[in-house]
Every structure is written in C-alpha cells, then in structure tokens.
Amino acid sequence: MTEYLTVDGGTIAYEVAGAGPLIVLAHGMGDSRAAYRAVTPRLVAAGYRVAAVDLRGCGESSADWPDWSRTAIAGDLLAVIRHLGGGPAVLVGHSMSGGAATIAAAREPSVISAVVELGTFTRKQSTRLGDLRVRRFRRGMLRLLGVLALGSVPLWRSYLDVAYPGRKPADWGERLDRVDSLLREPGRMKALQGMGRSAPTDAGARLGDVRCPVLVVMGTLDPDWADPRAEGAAIVDALPPGLGRLEMIEGAGHYPHDQFPDQVVSLMLAFLQAQPDAARA
C-alpha cells in the first residue's frame, strides 16, 4: 500500500513491508520503487522491515520540485527514515541515489547504520578519449545524452536495453511499459532530465565524512562506465580506511538488483551480518 510523506517542496511516496531492522531502498533516475520489486520480498523473508521509496519527481511522488540534486534527495530519504522511527537504518541507493545515500550517511551518522550503493554515481565524472573505444559505454552514453537533450522516452527505453545486457527480468515487457507510462506523465521526464544534469560532486565531497560501513556493488558490463570496477574501487578508496567494500557481479549492467536479485541480496545480507553496528536481522 502506498503511503505519503509531505516534505519541504512536495510529497514523497513509499511503501513498507515486513518487520525487523529497517532497510530503505532508493532507485535511480527515470525509475520508481518498482525497480526493487524482486529485492523487497527477499529482504522481508530475511527478517527486515523494508521501505521502498519513490524519489522526488518519480513514481507516485509529486512531480514538480525546485532541486534535483543528490543533497536534496538525501534530505528526502532522511525524512522518510525519521518518519518511520528514526533508524538506525540501512540505506540502499541505486545510481544517483547511491550518491544521495553517501550524503545522508555523512550528514546523520546516528540515523544510517550502513550504506549499499548499486551502480552508483558518487564521484565527479570524467571521460577519457580511450573510454569511447568501449562499445557498450559509447552506446549507453549517446543514448543518455539524447534523453537529456531531447526528453525522448523511446531513447530512454533504448538506453535501458543497453543497461540490461544479456539477462532480462521475467517481466521485462511489463517493466518497460511501466517505465514508459510513468515518464509520459506530466513532469516525470523533466525530473529525469534534472537528475541527469545534476553532477555528483556534492556526494564525492562527503565520501571522507562517512562513518558507517559501505558496500559498493557494480556490474561488470555496466555501460555507464568504461571500467565499472575502477569506478567502484575509486569510491571505496575515497572512503575512510576500512569502511568500504567492492563487489562485482559478472554479466550485470547498470541494474544488478533487477538482473540478479538473488546475488545482490546475498551480498547485502552477508555484508550486514559482518557488521557489528549495522542493523541485522
């Protein structure tokens, strides 16, 4: 059942399932909390209370917002956690939300017990000439640039086909149709474009301030980077020593949690069980 929380600037939609320590799931741009439809029941079965959130401008959250930055999204996620009891909570962020999770953890360490970042944009990005020789990176980047410039839903669908290399979810057709339908609602494509134009420098500036353990999960075939492993390793290296851990999922693209939910949840549960201060079922 969808619930709503009014925050400064709009309304955030979310749904809660299960009982136990709190895990909050935040999706990436152009998406909705349905991105975690395969992850949520697995975490609930493992003994967690799971809140899946629609980011500002996305899903069933209100569409018109003045700010699309990771810092603003971090504030929304912290507001949801406080509304649900104040934590401590495990915060899971995909893509743009990975950077938002970093900021939230740095801002309120007493509220966030651990962070999981999936295919995450958490650092200032730069493209080298040699990166363009990597075909999947080149294909993904051209489609993303087209979406940001033109606001084209078909181009976004084309990007998703690149972002999900090989293995597709069983409900792939329904997944695409749902994303397509949402992005055609007033204001939703504007939200995607606003998020896509928001640089992750605010998140990168807070990596050194994080005090909780962080798990970074990257797909080996993620088209958003020529070298996803190097990007994940750079994020771990920027964290305080000993806090970060990188895991790679072979064959996954930019949505490892949707292509390989069993592997992602297994990594998450093992990570949480190994942390003495993280929320554990």
Amino acid at 249: I
Above 70 in pLDDT, residue 276?
yes
* Strand 49-53, strand 244-249: pairing: unpaired
**Residue 205 in tokens:** 């500036």
**Residue 174 in tokens:** 């329904």
Confidence (pTM):
0.95
pLDDT band per the 50, 70, 90 thresholds, residue 281: low
pLDDT of residue 271: 97
**Residue 133 in tokens:** 């020789």
Judge contact between 248 and 218, C-beta under 8 A.
yes
Determine the Cα–Cα distance for residues 252 and 261; give it in Å rounded to an integer: 11
Closest CA to 78 of 57, 110, 56, 104: 104
**Sequence-separated (6 or more) residues with CB below 8 Å from residue 147:** 30, 155, 156, 159, 192, 193, 196
Determine the Cα–Cα distance for residues 189 and 148; give it in Å rounded to an integer: 9
User: If you average pLDDT over every residue of the chain, what do you get?
Assistant: 95
